[in-house]
Structure 1
């Protein structure tokens, strides 16, 4: 789609500088939304002949005992303990950035089996583009390790339409805290309204947030 192609075009023109790869983060409350947009950006880049490295934050979750220590619906656990953002930085973002080794880890944790994936490290070719999707990517742990941030703006009502039960309660509360504490939209390079992720709309700087 046009807005995703815009993001891909910006990335393709970017300069990774001293880093191995341009690091793109798609910051999304709903995992399926981040998957849809990030995959579209990755496909558009690949079509332009760019080497793409694809990573999902869902493959860097913490163990089930940590995630669920306060129950599956707890928003503070969703914000603080669900995704291992420091591992994402250590194993993916920093190795691909300036001064990094270029050796990165595509996955860390298998949530289905609740154990480490033991995936081998891969070596990125210079000039690659990392496309990472996940929640809270513009928070302090990872914000300065992302070269181009795409923030998906979505309302609480839209989150509840796409998630159910404990997942909806956890994500709505955690995302509200993220917005209040971090204010990610001004930090992003692109803000995309994702009430319907199949029809994203690129927002201008003065457009209001959909969150309510």
Structure 2
């Protein structure tokens, strides 16, 4: 896997042939087939491990005091990772049905950052809507930038990020929720700590608040 990762970084998937990987790792080609099935299985294992390492480091990072600043930093880190690992990004984002466990863990980290913003009342939409928009923006930005020369990428990621932030956040009044959607998102984010309600009541209230928070999208 280390040999394949090195070849991927140096020349992309085309450079990581079965023979090249076997030579670099000092093994026979049948070893690769026995362990990973084929070249694609090996590359997917490398992509999964690289993404898992990145997500793990992201999850262990101490959050910024301001949740919006923390969310912005997370978006920038995601784009930076994608641009620094173009071959891995292409493998991770290739259409293949269900997302990998590492990709799902990454979304969980994003979801937690959005939850912190919602608890301050600065979310204009539901948490689910915000996560979906941010995830689409991050993935699309990386894939779009990788198709452009490095010298033509300036400002594009920041513009895309701020366009989504403007749609989902109210950054002007951090202490006061923004309208009904903001109040609904803020209350829904804190339901787990509301011991006065039964689990069934919390579930029902969560569904109602979710509908209110999403009403601004219609």
In proportion to residue count, which structure has more helix?
A: 2
Tell me if TM exceeds 0.5. Answer: no
* TM superposition score normalised by structure 1: 0.29
Of the two, which has the highest radius of gyration?
2
Higher RCO structure, 1 or 2 (CA under 8 Å, sep 6+): 1
* TM superposition score normalised by structure 2: 0.28
